[in-house]
Structure 1
Amino acid sequence: MQKRREFLAGAAKEYDIFHFHFGNTFLPDYSDLAYLKQFGKN
């Protein structure tokens, strides 16, 4: 899970748009969506 969090932190800095397939996000509890929203990501 730590590797996913590290990837998310780096990706949030580099990318503006995130597209998820099949209802899955980076983290199983979907907390990454709130994290991305803090940075104004779509």
Structure 2
Amino acid sequence: MDPDKIVIIGSSAGDAIANVMLATYPELLAAGAIIGGLNDGTA
């Protein structure tokens, strides 16, 4: 894994921002996990 990238995990309301971050900044993120919550654009 690239040490200059981060991993983002979201649960519940944090899932919404994690989803947006994964869609908006893929070049900054190494991986992400969505753990039950909302789809992008529904919060």
TM over 0.5: no
Give the TM-score normalised by structure 1.
0.35
Rg bigger for which structure? 2
Give the TM-score normalised by structure 2.
0.35
